[in-house]
């Protein structure tokens, strides 16, 4: 296993991790910003008001993008197992 192979594996792992986290994190960011903007405009400073919409939106994002996430992870794992003999030799 060469340094280039290790770097390539690390890059692929980080890329797939970022792709898996992006839908959930971007949804939470957008809903959190919208709720914060609403709270600052209406001067309602209730902590639970930010949690419930964010939790619902993240759940919806997982439902919508879950199939794609599963497909990406299966593809990545399959490619990794196919490369395993080449990596070990």
- Is the pLDDT at 1 greater than 80? The verdict is no
List the domain range (segments joined by +) for residue 58. 3-88
Strand, helix or coil for residue 35:
helix
| Two structure tokens written together for 46 | 């209730």
Count how many domains the chain has. 1
The number of angstroms, rounded, from the C-alpha of 76 to the middle of its chain's C-alpha atoms is: 15
| Res 46: pLDDT | 82
Examine the pLDDT at 13 and tell me if it is beyond 90.
yes
Q: Is the pLDDT of residue 14 over 90?
A: yes
pLDDT digits (tens, 9 = 90+) for 25-79: 999 999 999 999 999 899 888 878 889 999 999 999 999 999 999 999 999 999 9
CA distances from 41 to 35, 37, 47 (A): 10, 6, 15
């Amino acid at each position: 296993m060469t340094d280039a192979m290790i770097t390539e594996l690390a890059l692929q792992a980080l890329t797939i991790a970022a792709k898996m986290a992006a839908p959930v994190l971007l949804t939470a960011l957008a809903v959190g910003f919208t709720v914060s903007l609403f709270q600052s405009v209406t001067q309602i400073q209730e902590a639970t008001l930010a949690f419930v919409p964010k939790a619902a939106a993240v759940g919806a994002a997982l439902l919508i993008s879950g199939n794609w996430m599963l497909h990406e992870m299966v593809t990545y794992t399959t490619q990794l197992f196919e490369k395993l003999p080449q990596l070990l030799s």
